[in-house]
Structure 1
Amino acid sequence: MKVLLNGELIQLPEHIINISDVLKHYDIHQKRVVVEINGEILTKLEHQNTRLADKDRIEIVHFVGGG
């Protein structure tokens, strides 16, 4: 399926079916992130249950510490 991820149109592998899979695929599942799908912010509990569909718009923001 093709999705718009952080403004870039990408083809996801077939085994990716939910937001949690996307986070694992990009190795950011251990980080603190905010995920928005089609304009709606998800809670962390919703990552596992939110199934993806072709042409979904996904925004992922993760925080970087610094000073």
Structure 2
Amino acid sequence: MEIMQIQVNGKERDVPAGTSVATLLRDLGLDGRMLVVELNRRIVRPPEIESAQLEAGDRVELVHFVGGG
């Protein structure tokens, strides 16, 4: 299995080649409905999360929604 390196919230991370954004979120134990995913400075919309593929050197930013009032 080929491994590639990406950045997640500024930290280097190794993932298998062909990893999708959805797979990354599952591996991190995160719910894509509760955060905003930015891939290389572009927002990944919820319908695109399953099909968005990661490539070596990609930068992913994950921003969690915070409730309150």
- Shared fold, TM over 0.5: yes
> 1:28 matched to which residue of 2?
30
Could you list the structure 1 runs, at least 4 aligned residues long, displaced by more than 2 angstroms after superposition: 64-67
CA deviation digits over 1:5-52, x for unaligned, max 9? 10011112x276100001101111265110000110010011001001
* Alpha-carbon contact 1:19-1:47 (below 8 Å) kept: yes
Task: Please tell me whether the aligned partners of residues 16 and 22 of structure 1 are also in contact (alpha carbons under 8 angstroms).
Answer: no
Note the residue ranges of structure 1 that are not aligned, 5 or more in a row. none
Greater per-residue strand proportion: 2
TM-score using structure 1 length: 0.85
Q: TM-score, normalised by structure 2?
A: 0.82
Distance 1:5 1:44, change over 3 A: same
Query: Does residue 60 of structure 1 match 2:55?
Result: no
Report the identity percentage: 32
**RMSD across aligned C-alpha pairs, in angstroms?**
1.8
